[in-house]
Structure 1
Amino acid sequence: MRIIPFKIPKTRNEFYHYQIDRLKCFYDKLHQHPEVQITYIEKGRGTLIAGDYTGRFAPGDVFIIGSSLPHVFKSDENDHLQQNRPSVGYSLYIDMKAWEQEFWKSNDTLAVAQFFHQCYQAYQCHVSLARQLACRLKRIGRVTGFKRTLEILGLLDMIYEHREKMHMLSDGGWLKIIPETEDTRMSRIIRFTLEAYHRPISLQEVARVANLSVEAFCRYFKTHTRKTYISFLNEVRIHHACRLLAEKEFTFSEIAYQVGFSNLSYFNRIFKRVTHKTPGEYALMLEKP
């Protein structure tokens, strides 16, 4: 799995592409494209990697992925079988370069155009804004022609006007600067981690995956992600622990073991460091309506 330059299927005259994905699981290759992506998750759960952010996605979430930011929506294994339904997402891709016409240079539209043109980050929208954007993204699919254009303009205006209701997930600096020759190496590391997080992983093992010595691997990973590999691994484990807590089927000890921790006190400490809550506090939060 490498960072794939992904081509959005649109004609040369289009400044956007709208698509509805109904799949067994979402596209699971780490990829990037110059278009800004706005995605509403209607069905499906899994792990989102966007730049230096690793977290969960679930029904109701709306994400904004900045231009050229490497990302992947990796669906949970067997989620579509357990739920007996496919993953469903509504996505709008905006090509800001195609919008660099006089229309976007007017006083009325300049601020909105500049915001999206300079968008290289990843965001998650707060619940109230996500609900409104979800309705608009679905409505875009029900109209055509200039009405669709108006709906898209309304969507962009809503995002800009309520930008304080968006939580930044990644500032866009991570992975984007990785030379093309390094894409495969970083992708191998990420794929290996997502597949093996539930068991003990030594630095020696993951360094072999990257075909580097341990010392060179630690420098390489820290240089490109601005965090240690252990920090990244712990974040992946904790986000999977959050999913298990939501299922309410296991004790804290069982969850800690299932996501790769052999020590409950260490699991509790890392859980609070990542989520700013203890496992108990997080579980209580899930029970609130």
Structure 2
Amino acid sequence: MRAAVNKVSIPDSDVFVIQDLQEPYFDPNWHAHPDYQLFVVLEGTGTRFIGDNVQPFQPGDMVFTGPNLPHLWHSDDTYFQEENDLKTRGIVIYFHQDFLGEGLLQKREMSKVRQLFERAQLGLNIYGNTNRKVKVKILSLLHIEGFPSVLCLLEIINLLAHSSEYKLISSVGYTHRINETDTERMNRVHDYVMHNYKQNISLEKVASLANMTPSSFSRYFKVRANKTFSAFVSDIRIGHACKLLQENQMNIAQVSYECGYRTLSNFNKQFRDITNRTPSKYKNEYAEIVHS
């Protein structure tokens, strides 16, 4: 699995690029590019990786990321099966970090936009009323051309810049460390873990995929991901557990086993450490939100 670090090419003649992505599954490659990106999921579920953060995604998930922040939306395993009628859809907007011009960006009137761009270096998860308003404008932008399309993009940026309905995605201490070799290694690691997290994952096996010794791989992974490999696996397992609890088709013990935990006590501890609540409390809180 080989992927270029820079996947996006915005023509010099254009201010931005918007794409309506409709595929059986989202591109499962870990990558980064030197542009700002606004992405909203319209169809599909899975796990997204942004910087050092791992979270499940579902329709409505909206993320704004800054230049060179590594990311990946990995669809659930069912989307990769040949015999299914599932599909994914997402709309993505790319624009250069200097499309407004450095001079304009430094003006007093642009302070909110400047702060938005700075926060986006860690990735922003957009929610609430802002999410809904921006989604409407993104959908309309698909059908607008010329200067009106630039005005629409500016309206979207203005909505984001004046909103408090966001959460930082990556840790404050996270720094971007990615190159072509890292991309290939991390893609192999992501792919293996996403297909095997329900089983026991051997550090030796994963290290061999990266052509490294276990000790070297452990140090390498912690520097690139800002967390240990075991913590990374736990994030993926608990993220999947959250989705299963939301679906409410299994009891907690079944969810625990389905996510690769062989003891309920270990599952409860890991879940509480990552989400700051017990599985039962998480399940009840989600049910209250859905039925409110």
- The TM-score with structure 2 as length reference comes to 0.90
Task: Check the 8 A contact 1:66/1:172 in 2, yes or no.
Answer: no
**1:271 and 2:271 equivalent?**
yes
8 A contact 1:4–1:30 mirrored in 2: no
Rate the CA distance shift 1:93–1:237 in 2: closer, same or farther, 3 A: same
For 2:27 and 2:258, how far apart are their aligned partners in 1? Answer: 25
Residue of structure 2 equivalent to 1:47: 47
Deviations 1:156-205 (A, max 9, x none): 0111111x321111148657224443332232222211111110112222
What is the rounded CA distance, in whole Å, between the counterparts of 1:16 and 1:22 in structure 2? 19
More displaced 10-residue stretch of structure 1: 212-221 or 76-85: 76-85
How big is the shift at 1:35? 1.0
Change in 2 beyond 3 A, CA 1:264/1:2? farther
Q: Identify unmatched segments of 5+ residues in structure 2.
A: none
- RMSD after superposition: 2.3
Question: Which letter maps to 1:86?
Answer: K
State the 1:227 CA deviation: 1.4
Could you tell me whether the CA contact under 8 Å between 1:2 and 1:186 is conserved in 2? no
- TM-score of the aligned structures, taking structure 1 as reference length: 0.90
> Kindly tell me: are residues 117 and 273 of structure 1, through their superposed partners in 2, closer, same or farther at Cα, counting changes over 3 Å?
closer
Q: Give 1:114 deviation, angstroms.
A: 5.8
Structure 1 contact 62–133 (Cα < 8 Å) conserved: no
**Alpha-carbon distance between aligned partners in 1 of 2:63 and 2:248, rounded to the nearest angstrom:** 26
Distance 1:152 1:179, change over 3 A: closer
How far, CA to CA, are the matches of 1:169 and 1:106 in structure 2? 28
**2:281 matched residue in structure 1:** 281
Q: Distance in 1 between matches of 2:227 and 2:104?
A: 42
- Is residue 2:229 matched to residue 1:193? no
Percent identity between matched residues is 27
Distance 2:80 2:196 in 1: 21
- 8 Å contact from structure 1 (residues 46, 58) kept in 2: yes
Residue 236 of structure 1 deviates from its aligned partner by 0.4
Matched-pair contact (CA < 8 Å) for 2:46–2:76: yes
Is the aligned partner of 1:138 residue 2:100?
no
Q: Which residue of 1 aligns with 2:65?
A: 65
**1:129 equivalent in structure 2:** 130
1:1-289 equivalence runs, <5 A: 1=1, 4-79=4-79, 84-100=85-101, 102-109=103-110, 111-113=112-114, 115-116=116-117, 119-162=120-163, 164-171=164-171, 174=174, 176-288=176-288, 289=291
